[in-house]
A = this chain, B = another copy of it.
Amino acid sequence: MFSNITNKKIYQQVISQIQDMILSGKLKKGDKLMSERELSEKMGVSRTSIREALRVLETMGIIESRQGEGNFICNNIETSLIQPLSMMFILNNGSYEDILELRSMIELEAVKLAATRGTEEEFEELKKISQELTRNDKIYNKGDIDKEIHYKIACMSKNFLIKSLYKISLNLLEDFIINSRQKIVDYYHEEDTLNIQHKKICDSIIARDPENAYIYMKEHLDLIKITMEKI
Report A's interface with B, CB cutoff 8 A.
11-12, 15, 19, 22-23, 25, 28-29, 48, 51-52, 55-56, 59-62, 73, 75, 77-78, 80-81, 83-92, 94, 97-99, 101-102, 104-106, 109, 113, 159-162, 164-165, 169
CB distance from A97 to the nearest CB of B (A): 8
CB distance from A203 to the nearest CB of B (A): 24
Contact of B84 with A60 in the complex, beta carbons under 8 Å: yes
The interface residues of chain A, by DSSP majority, are classed as helix
| Chain B residues within 8 Å of A85, by CB | 77, 81
**5 A-B pairs (CB sep. < 8 Å):** A23-B86, A56-B56, A73-B91, A78-B88, A165-B165
Contact of B80 with A162 in the complex, beta carbons under 8 Å: no
A102-B52 CB under 8 A given contacts A59-B12, A88-B75, A88-B77 = no
| Chain B residues within 8 Å of A88, by CB | 75, 77-78, 164
Cα A92 to Cα B169 in complex, Å, equals 19
Contact of A162 with B105 in the complex, beta carbons under 8 Å: yes
- Select which of B22, B52, B83, B109 is within 8 A of A51 by beta carbon: B52
Cα A52 to Cα B65 in complex, Å, equals 15
| Chain B residues within 8 Å of A55, by CB | 11, 52, 55-56
CB distance from A25 to the nearest CB of B (A): 7
Cα A109 to Cα B6 in complex, Å, equals 42
CB distance from A193 to the nearest CB of B (A): 25
A90-B165 CB under 8 A given contacts A59-B15, A60-B59 = no
Cα A150 to Cα B23 in complex, Å, equals 25
Contact of A77 with B56 in the complex, beta carbons under 8 Å: no
Cα A109 to Cα B110 in complex, Å, equals 13
- Select which of B77, B98, B109 is within 8 A of A161 by beta carbon: B98
